[in-house]
A and B are shown apart, each in its own frame.
Chain A
């Protein structure tokens, strides 16, 4: 337990230094540039070593390929140009305290042809001028991708290798069908999405060992274990770790060499000194143990860039950095080598570096995921492995850096253990949310730890959890959870129960899933529940089966020696992460549409079966006509005073939400994944509740065609007029079932005076409270603290709000980058006035359009 030595926890005397201010200015001006360096080097290595022809790419093959990339990639100590909004490259002075970058660009779009980079193929000529989040690319780069790089990967990316595997494995079963049924349902995109074709991400490595022992320590360990290996597979894995770590060391040394040259050429004495310092640091780390705070940060940063060369950054998260870096920070502070101002500046520079790339999202993907960053979570606070208060001075320094930078990435997540962590710490987190309007998210340690223990993790490991991607908890550096393995659209599955397994949207009324009966013939609500259960079970089976097939393709073609080197488990087992090397090997399924489906069930239960105010046929007719001619029924279904709604402490409505959660967790918990772990349930929806909402027709809860769904585990907007019952409903849910995390999104009106902060703290404390064991208590909560007028103005004049940060459902995003549907969802969220704990009058926002 660390002693807090800061006099002022807010650190309000520390602001942006001129260096950081200038860099931040350029950062927000910069348009992302497609970087072809990685695919070029990887393709060349594959061609030179015959890897395109192999039936299996081993972990050692991969490690050698990554070493080749690390040794041959550009080693940029300081960028000289960025791409401005006129799509012109503009000069600037990069004075960052950190060298190296994820791509060769200042703000880059890395490409991974072994995953889904080829999705961009058809829009390469139009990327620079697409409406939503354009990328800069030169004609020469387009031609290189089109003629030289992409053709080699047409049959060799994860998606197509898996399709071929399905075809091969299912040939006898399905005759001449080219598609396995699971793949067919997946590619309809409406029901579930598996993220395996896109990434192996959504996990959090632990950099403690890299910082404390240096990569040379990891190499020595791997070599020693390799000598004692049981079999060839283990030997190969340890050899791969050595290759990968040597590659990272080589990259850092190359940076050191370039920094030396720059220092030699530099005439400005101050800048010369900075280059010399960078050269000295990179000569030492990450090869050797970090001796200073800056060296420790550099170790994390360089290892982080290497991890991104291996896997697309989709929710790759940095873990408990305030714990990992604290010893170096404390040592420097005690020895007078570091000031708080310097520590804040270093972290601000690192935060900018962490955000130096954006994911490659095709135009169509922007409709579902517009505005997404890489969702790189950093976790602070909470308790240590022995249950002691882990909040330290560095926790507060990181909070201050986050407050000053207000960046989308990294996504800061604060852990809080009621009764163990100090209330002043909670107050400071709430204050940061008011100041930034959106960050950090808050996690209730007591609930999260109990939930992880319930899923088989040891108490010590569960206490040492980190937040991954959006909100997903997992033992830091021990659990490879791939928490976003599957995104499941629960509303689409409800539709299949309503329409007997048939596609509601196609004129051909094709069968999608099992026939579970015509609901107009059902005599009871329980009969409908059973039909819905059967549909949910069918989809869980399809989605998990396909995820497992994709997983086996990963095992054959995408081992991850770099990531594996920073986990506990692979080194002792001699086994890559994707082979099941981690201590914990779960997969995550996050569900979209919980509140809308729970409210739909309540509507069917109350209106159709209990009160018989409408027949099932009338309900279906009304849904089919988007309630035209059924306005009275729609009003009744949408009215929380007439139809039970989750989020009002209505026992019937909340029971339906709890029933769904327990059923889904039970079903998923029975299924093994391809690494020997189990599936876990989550409720965080990113922007998918808007994306899926805009393709979904009317639902029984009174929601009209193509309106947004509620986000995460949040009740439906506009139906929960009081804050306290809304929080109590969520806190009363079976959090023990939600091991892959939840996002409760709340929106508060900013209010003047200290009263707001006090009320803020009180509501969080109340929500987290387990009421002496009467309930589990709230697991997670996140906020938007921005008034509606500002959001509306930001829709009209996005150029005036480049830094307006919002909490989507899980990650943070810049409001201007979101698609119109998602902007509407944020504006329409129930907004509470903390002083009264009542919702401000709800008025749906007209769907904004970027084209006016």
Chain B
């Protein structure tokens, strides 16, 4: 059933975006990412997340400040080898390539989109369990992973959905 209650915090999202640019981006990425963040997660989650990040970096000075002077390479991939994504931060920009780079600082291998979302966001965050049952494996510099986690949280905050995903 689709939630239509006026009390649903998502209905208030466009009004209460914390960042004016975020508000704009929020409209652009529309309801789909928000649904991915707080509702049922699909295989499109990662693509939508990265697109929203890229757009926010492009449009929001505050968000862009997060990666000024930051150099790092993340590889996100699935255990079955179906998904390979490398995210490169350099010169204040984020680039995404559909290949597995060798020069990664952190590599996260996950079972499915739900596992990845659980690993990165608070609403269903269960990092320990994900590691214990082998749904997610992380390798390399943990601090890069924590920073990436902050970028994702900060995006959610700017989109005005942080409270919904971390009640």
Q: Which residues of A contact B (CB under 8 A)?
A: 118-126, 129-130, 146-147, 150-151, 153-155, 157, 159-160, 163, 178-179, 184, 187-190, 363-364, 367-368, 503, 505-508, 510, 695
Contact = CB atoms under 8 A, between A and B. Distances in A.
A363 B145 CA distance: 15
A125 B147 contact: no
A155 B142 CA distance: 9
B153 to A, nearest CB: 5
Nearest to A116: B142
B111 to A, nearest CB: 8
A507 B137 CA distance: 13
A153 B143 contact: yes
Given A122-B153, A189-B128, A155 B141 contact: yes
Interface string B126-164: 011101111000111111111111101110010000100
Given A121-B150, A126-B153, A151-B69, A368 B128 contact: yes
B165 to A, nearest CB: 9
Interface of B: 65-66, 69-70, 79, 120, 122, 125, 127-129, 131-134, 138-150, 152-154, 157, 162, 166-167
The 4 closest A-B pairs by CB, nearest first: A122-B149, A506-B134, A121-B146, A154-B143
Contacts of A363: 122, 125
Residue of B65, B120, B142, B144 contacting most chain A CB atoms (<10 Å): B142
9 contacts: A121-B146, A122-B146, A125-B166, A154-B144, A188-B131, A189-B132, A190-B132, A506-B133, A507-B134
A160 B142 contact: yes
Contacts of A153: 143
Given A125-B153, A363-B122, A187 B138 contact: yes
A123 B149 CA distance: 8
Nearest to B165: A126
A508 B79 contact: yes
Nearest to A146: B150
A363 B70 CA distance: 26
Contacts of B148: 122
B125 A695 contact: no
Given A146-B66, A508-B79, A121 B143 contact: yes
A742 to B, nearest CB: 27
Contact of A126 (B70, B134, B162): B162
Contacts of A178: 139-140
A756 B146 CA distance: 52
A154 B144 CA distance: 7
Contact of B150 (A122, A189, A364, A510): A122
B147 A154 contact: yes
B143 A695 contact: no
Contact of A125 (B65, B139, B162): B162
B128 A364 contact: yes
Given A163-B141, A695-B129, 12 more contacts: A118-B142, A122-B120, A122-B150, A125-B150, A126-B122, A126-B162, A130-B122, A157-B143, A159-B142, A163-B140, A178-B139, A364-B128
Contacts of A151: 69-70, 147
B49 to A, nearest CB: 14
A697 to B, nearest CB: 10
Given A146-B66, A179-B139, A506-B134, A364 B127 contact: yes
Contacts of B143: 118, 121, 150, 153-155, 157, 159-160
A189 B138 CA distance: 12
Nearest to B154: A125
Contact of A154 (B138, B141, B157): B141
